[in-house]
Structure 1
């Protein structure tokens, strides 16, 4: 469905690339999360996939076509930016009408349903909406497009917990009705990870990980106990974070949470738990930072 091969991109010539030799394949319909720290290159990656920019080198294909300056390829795409450009005088009714013109598989029923659930005034200018209401309008455009490749950059920004839940439920429902590739860039990885089948981690302009979410959920082990016991149990392991308070130590290890680790923790009198995915990703990318210095 999408293919990036050795893609390099910089906003200015002779500057360090924002993306450098990125290769990324996704051949099946999935809901995938894109995670990375600020400045990692996530937005650039998405804009290249959407055909908004042309790579300096390498190739990009979406549904077998180069997306850049290609109307045929754009027919398969919907890219919702974090602050999506919407006409100054557009209403939700205008958004739905224009969206249906650009996307042949537009879901009118879902658009009406989401407009009602998000409590959006259909005849009021979107430019007058609150941040959360603007986000809801963008969600309608993204989900109702039914595009084969749908990319949404931070789609829940500005939504309260209840509205985020509505979005997640609508996302699953529309995906089950029409499986397609939906990529979501997010900082709220703990919230979206139950919905996603794959995780793409972007770090310093490269794809650091592209693995099944189920596999990534199992990484990250926390060991806590007496400092000497923690040191003995973690000797030789890939430690990505550590802390000490008096005689108590705590480490995070980059490994799969397993029965073997539980047995080892018990043997050394340590408590063991699975690290939160967000904490694991922050620490593993921070460790990469240290490796670059």
Structure 2
């Protein structure tokens, strides 16, 4: 599916690389999330995979082909950018027609249904759409392409909660009908994590983690209690965040939320809870910065 080997890339010569010696493999059809803080390199990673930029060093293959300047490889790809460039005079009828010309596996019936679901006018210019309506149009282009490798950058930006739910439902439906590699960059990690099988964490131009989602979602232990009790219970643990208020302390530990931690918390009279995935990822990347 996708293979990156020791890829580095800089937007300007003699400048520090935006992506630095990145290796990333995904060989099976999955829905994967790409997460990273602003400026981490998510968009650069996606544009390299999509063949929009050529790496300075290393190799990239999409379906065993170099995607850069390669029409054959592009036939397997669909990359929907956050503000995807669409023809300024296009309407939804044009999008469907052009989408079907560029993508041989185009799902016309799904496109028609999603236009109705998202309540998009067929003849109005997309350039006149609201932000949410433009996002919905981009979603339709991405999902209905049925491309073997579909990459979507922040596909829910501008959508309200109801429309995001519709997107998630359509995403699962089209994946179940036609399993393929779908990579989604998102800030709504809590919402999308139940749908994803893998998580790619990008940090400072590198892939910090590429693990099954079920492994990452179980990490992050929050302990709250008296400072001295927290100190005893967390001795030797990897603390990635802490806060104090008077005699009380709250810490986040980089470990699996487990029966053992629950028993230890009870033994020391501490409150324990599972950290939110978003909070865990923010803190683990901050900790990574401190280690450098």
TM-score normalised according to structure 2 size: 1.00
The aligned residue for residue 257 of structure 1 is: 257
Describe how 1:158-169 pairs up with structure 2 within 5 A.
Answer: 158-169=158-169
Quote the offset at 1:259 in angstroms: 1.2
1:194 is paired with a residue of what secondary structure?
Answer: helix
2: CA distance between counterparts of 1:169 and 1:162?
11
1: CA distance between counterparts of 2:159 and 2:183?
19
Quote the offset at 1:264 in angstroms: 1.0
1: CA distance between counterparts of 2:17 and 2:187?
23
1:193 is paired with a residue of what secondary structure?
Answer: helix
The aligned residue for residue 195 of structure 2 is: 195
The aligned residue for residue 6 of structure 2 is: 6
Describe how 1:77-226 pairs up with structure 2 within 5 A.
Answer: 77-226=77-226
2: CA distance between counterparts of 1:32 and 1:230?
36
2: CA distance between counterparts of 1:132 and 1:163?
9
2:150 is paired with a residue of what secondary structure?
Answer: strand
2:98 is paired with a residue of what secondary structure?
Answer: helix
The aligned residue for residue 73 of structure 2 is: 73
1: CA distance between counterparts of 2:31 and 2:12?
33
Which blocks of at least 5 consecutive residues in structure 1 are unaligned? Answer: none
Number of aligned pairs?
292
2:6 is paired with a residue of what secondary structure?
Answer: strand
1:119 is paired with a residue of what secondary structure?
Answer: coil
What is the CA RMSD across the aligned residues, in angstroms? 0.4
Per-residue Cα deviation, 1:52-73 (whole angstroms, up to 9, x for no partner): 0000000000000000000000
2: CA distance between counterparts of 1:10 and 1:232?
47
Which blocks of at least 5 consecutive residues in structure 2 are unaligned? Answer: none
2: CA distance between counterparts of 1:124 and 1:71?
31
1:163 is paired with a residue of what secondary structure?
Answer: helix
1:200 is paired with a residue of what secondary structure?
Answer: strand
2: CA distance between counterparts of 1:8 and 1:260?
42
2: CA distance between counterparts of 1:171 and 1:258?
31
Per-residue Cα deviation, 1:104-131 (whole angstroms, up to 9, x for no partner): 0000000000000100000000000000
2:140 is paired with a residue of what secondary structure?
Answer: helix
The aligned residue for residue 286 of structure 1 is: 286
2: CA distance between counterparts of 1:140 and 1:149?
15
2: CA distance between counterparts of 1:35 and 1:183?
10
1: CA distance between counterparts of 2:158 and 2:20?
32
Per-residue Cα deviation, 1:224-243 (whole angstroms, up to 9, x for no partner): 01110001101111000000
Per-residue Cα deviation, 1:59-112 (whole angstroms, up to 9, x for no partner): 000000000000000000000000000000000000000000000000000000
Quote the offset at 1:251 in angstroms: 0.1
Quote the offset at 1:193 in angstroms: 0.1
2: CA distance between counterparts of 1:16 and 1:238?
31
2: CA distance between counterparts of 1:232 and 1:93?
65
2: CA distance between counterparts of 1:18 and 1:212?
25
The runs of at least 4 aligned residues of structure 1 exceeding 6 Å deviation read none
Quote the offset at 1:205 in angstroms: 0.4
Per-residue Cα deviation, 1:206-249 (whole angstroms, up to 9, x for no partner): 00000000000100000001110001101111000000111110
